Structure 1
């Protein structure tokens, strides 16, 4: 059976608060651990009213204290927003607190307008150009190479599991060159999936981090007792995605019955395109879709995304999904 993990954005729902979102994410991580998921990742986003995972390392520290065995990590840290030294310190601290449990997934996309660039005091587009060098510097800081001008404490000697994230060919090429595991964000950008995985496997160079290609692929998963209920649960995230793509992002809205039927053709086509990396339905339907997707991609691991308005609905979805896949 393909390994299963969980990706969470710490969604803030309409009528809810950041504190409630963090509580829900913690409960979700505990449920993922209980039901045998391999790892629990939090993604870094900034200045988005509906996402509360911006201080990713702080969130991970809390999740680590609330769990005991599941791997925890970033899916991912957008390195252009930071310096390699800062991330070495942060994830070195996490590795010391939770040894053998920390993943450090790295992404390049700056994803920021001029306001955020000013707030972060960074030229994010220039920083994105430095991404390959910054990844190498970050790994060197954690390896504690003697010729470095400065040593990171904490950080030196830390051994998080590095992952390269991507939704295009760039990340695949860099992961192959550096010999890192590769995670593809098909749940929101499936266009280059097959080409990126082929390129990564073809050009992979073994390293001390990874002896052979390792692939994780993200997909949206909503499992419920009935297909109609699962489609209703999925409508909250679908609304959020349409709002984001049309320039009006916000908090996670309540589900809407027959949401797809209410959309114009262009929006419906966009969501249907994303559906190639989605499993929505009963437990058996979800398991069938996940297995088919794993077979198509040859993935070693599937990481499941998919926010629900009611946190308990996502916990139940994780339980049903894991049960169906085990069966």
Structure 2
């Protein structure tokens, strides 16, 4: 089992995009030192609290500031883009940074429908995601006889492609194509167990992967004490509730009492989306991660940490690494 890091490049309340990007660079450097295998960034649009909308640019920036850790997308929302453009972008990244680039692909828009229309210009009712994935894989592989459209850069870079999802659809597609699969259980936990079963039992070996590789996203809020960890976690709950209320904004500062800021039903709704989580001191987080690992048996854990204070976020990521290694997770060489 390996361990990796998911990063939405959060813009903390009271700060700005420039600082958020600097924080992500520093976080990646800390994650590299702590043995994380990957640092993935997620594509979102029209969200003032997320600085990773130009995902490939930020990936290149972070890869240039690190030396070993793999940097990639978790994910690029492929319906927003022409497959050829993504092949060229990630092919360019691979030519610059070598075999350190990952390409995780999602099917959702990563935004509201009005913004999706602004991104895509012409919305289609037809789901072409499987065909687009195949087209992208072809651009990143060797040139076939008679292939007239090629990705320069891109061809023969063989950038590893992952399928991301929060339902059985992605699990089935990843299994059919013989690709690694990452489940977004950090915010959509309902079908995690079933998706893992479907993926593993229907997996077809391919030129890309001999056996299934199932990544599970887990929220980790770790601190010196349980109380401090619960405090830093409130930012994530407040941010999630505001997003669901149609009021996206910077990542809120933590609060002592959630009930002073949100009605009980909103607190419960937000917490229900964050059940695949470990919150507490190092001992508490270690025990909870052990329960999650035993239940879902992931091949890889990807840690999500939406924490307002940058120093607290770095500490949480470092504690999570130690906790995961205590359960046999392997630090990257």
Could you state the TM-score of these two structures normalised by the residue count of structure 2? 0.94
Displacement of 1:98 in angstroms is 1.2
- 1:216 deviates by 0.3
Q: Is the 8 Å Cα contact of residues 100 and 159 (structure 1) preserved in structure 2?
A: no
Q: Distance in 1 between matches of 2:282 and 2:260?
A: 24
Verify the 8 A CA contact 1:14 1:252 in the aligned structure 2: yes
Q: Which 4+ stretches in 1 moved above 4 angstroms?
A: none
| 1:50 Cα deviation from its structure 2 partner | 0.6
Q: Distance in 1 between the 2:91 and 2:51 partners?
A: 23
User: Would you say the 8 A contact 2:3–2:324 is kept in 1?
Assistant: no
Matched, 1:138 2:136: yes
Instruction: Give the Cα separation in 2 of the matches to 1:152 and 1:100.
Output: 18
Change (3 A) 1:259 1:156: same
Q: Which moved more, 1:79-88 or 1:157-166?
A: 157-166
| Aligned residue-pair number | 325
Range 272-281 or range 85-94, more displaced: 272-281
Corresponding residue SS for 1:225: coil
In structure 2, do the counterparts of structure 1 residues 112 and 11 end up closer, same or farther at CA, with 3 Å as the change threshold?
A: closer
Change (3 A) 1:260 1:225: farther
Report the CA distance shift for 1:279/1:88 in structure 2 as closer, same or farther (over 3 A): same
Give me the whole-angstrom Cα distance separating, in 1, the residues matched to 2:159 and 2:252: 35
Aligned to 1:289: 288
* Secondary structure class of the residue paired with 1:96: helix
Tell me the distance in 2 between the aligned counterparts of 1:3 and 1:141. Answer: 28
Q: CA deviation at 1:118?
A: 4.0
The answer on whether the counterparts of 2:80 and 2:120 sit within 8 Å (CA) in structure 1 is no
> Shift in Å at residue 203 of structure 1?
0.9
Cα contact 1:222–1:306 (8 A) shared by 2 = yes
Residues in 1 aligned to 2:248 and 2:307: alpha-carbon distance in whole angstroms: 16
Question: Cα gap change, 1:119/1:263 in structure 2, threshold over 3 Å: closer, same or farther?
Answer: closer
User: 2:44·2:111 contact (CA, 8 Å) conserved in 1?
Assistant: no
Worse-superposed segment, 132-141 or 280-289: 280-289
**Distance across 2 between alignment mates of 1:275 and 1:110:** 21
For residues 259 and 158 of structure 1, the distance between their equivalents in structure 2, rounded to whole angstroms, comes to: 48
Identify the residue that residue 71 of structure 2 maps to in structure 1.
72
Q: For the structure 1 residues 147 and 126, does the alpha-carbon distance in structure 2 shift closer, same or farther, using more than 3 Å as the test?
A: farther
Counterpart position of 1:177: 176
Equivalent residues in 2 for 1:13-52, closer than 5 Å: 13-52=12-51
5+ unaligned residues in a row in structure 1: which ranges?
none
Structure 1 position 267, deviation (Å): 1.7
Return 244-253 or 64-73, whichever deviates more: 244-253
C-alpha distance in 1 between matches for 2:31 and 2:58: 16
The separation in 1 between residues aligned to 2:259 and 2:208, in whole angstroms, is 43
Q: Displacement of 1:105 after TM fit?
A: 0.3
- Name the SS for the 1:276 alignment partner: coil
- Superposed displacement of residue 266, structure 1: 2.0
CA drift of 1:97 comes to 1.1
Unaligned runs of 5+ in 2: 327-333
Once the two structures are TM-superposed, the CA of residue 146 in structure 1 deviates from its matched residue by 3.0
Structure 1 counterpart SS, 2:307: coil
User: 1 CA distance for matches of 2:112 and 2:30?
Assistant: 36
Shift in alpha-carbon separation, 1:78–1:140, aligned structure 2, 3 A: same
State the alpha-carbon separation in 1 of the partners of residues 48 and 158 from structure 2.
Answer: 33
Native 8 Å contact 1:221 1:278 kept in 2? yes
* 1:56 paired residue number: 55
**Shift of residue 100, structure 1, vs aligned partner:** 1.2
Q: Give secondary structure in 1 for the equivalent of 2:36.
A: coil
- The residue that corresponds to 2:299 in the other structure is 300
Contact 2:219 2:276 in 1 (8 A): yes
- The superposition leaves residues 139-180 of structure 1 with CA deviations (integer Å, 9 ceiling, x where unpaired) of 001113333221110000112111100001110010011000
Aligned residue number for residue 101 of structure 1: 100
Q: CA deviation at 1:219?
A: 1.1
Residue pair 2:223, 2:282 contacting (<8 A) in 1 also:
yes
1:316 corresponds to: 315
Query: Matches of 1:250 and 1:147 in 2, distance apart?
Result: 49
Q: Distance in 1 between matches of 2:150 and 2:14?
A: 45
Compare 68-77 and 301-310 and name the one that shifted more: 301-310
